Amino acid sequence: MAHVVQSLDQPSNYKDSQARVDRQKQNELLAKSSTLYVGNLSFYTTEEQIYEVFTKCGSPEDGGGVKRIIMGLDRNTRTPCGFCFVEYYTHAEALASMRYISGTKLDERIIRCDLDLGYKDGRQFGRGRSGGQVRDEHRQDYDPGRGGWGAQAQRAEIERRREVEERYADANGMAAGGGGDWKEINAPPTEQTLKRGRSPEDDASGARQGQRARMDEPDPEAERM
């Protein structure tokens, strides 16, 4: 009989690219896995908050409950980057979490749960180019719960600011060291002695003085006589 509504405890079609198992083997492992992958967490959600939520699907009286929580970390900064692994003691508890917790809100974010093959050392680190998750590498929207803009958008913004700062520094350098032309134009004139031009009266006075000088000179012919 066909299912009208998809079961909430079915694993997704996700396949870990680093897991060296085929699809059939993966399905066999998931059919008895007690590990959950939890995604879309806020970077600020703590391990204590996650434990409080996921213990609601545990069965301590039957020897179950949350075994451990492994927080996902940025590969470079070693800070939370929005995912974790939750290990239960039984497969039934993991299925119950997929039914009743996946799709609910934690820290005002809708979290997603999926059955996982099992935690291995090194899987707690993000695989994105910038150290976080791949989904945050290409994200174009602003998400305050996941570090703001996506990694590529942040790199583009940093490059834009660097170019603006370089142009601003070049403009300041030109204003401080350049400007030789306007300095010469606005420089005060060199001080120098100014002479008054000759007038017609000066020329006439000079002529009279010349005549007087000639009259005062002795006549060479008179001396011989």
What is the bridge-based pairing of β-strands 66-73 and 80-88? Answer: antiparallel
Which pLDDT belongs to residue 173? 72
Q: How far apart are the first and last CA of the chain?
A: 167
Specify the range with the lowest mean pLDDT, choosing from 14-23, 40-49, 63-72, 213-222.
Answer: 213-222
Say if CB 130 and CB 137 are below 8 A apart. Answer: yes
Instruction: Outline where DSSP puts E strands in the chain.
Output: 35-39, 66-73, 80-88, 105-106, 109-110, 112-116
24 pLDDT above the threshold of 60:
yes
Mean pLDDT of 144-173: 78
Mean pLDDT of 17-26: 82
Specify the range with the lowest mean pLDDT, choosing from 1-5, 63-67, 151-155.
Answer: 1-5
- Higher pLDDT among residues 102 and 188, named by residue: 102
What confidence category does residue 63 fall into, taking pLDDT thresholds of 50, 70 and 90?
confident
Complete DSSP assignment for 85-111: EEEESSHHHHHHHHHHTTTSEETTEE-
Distance CA 59, CA 82 (A): 26
Residue 57, domain CATH: 3.30.70.330
Q: What percent of the chain has pLDDT over 70?
A: 72
Its domain, for residue 72, covers 24-125
Dihedral of CA atoms 205, 210, 213, 215 in degrees, nearest 10, equals -100
* Residue 220 located in a structural domain: no
- Higher pLDDT among residues 94 and 62, named by residue: 94
Number of independent structural domains in the chain = 1
Mean pLDDT of 145-162: 76
Q: What percent of the chain has pLDDT over 90?
A: 42
* Residue 159 located in a structural domain: no
* Residue 97 located in a structural domain: yes
- Higher pLDDT among residues 19 and 138, named by residue: 138
- pLDDT tens digit sequence for 160-178: 788 888 888 877 776 665 5
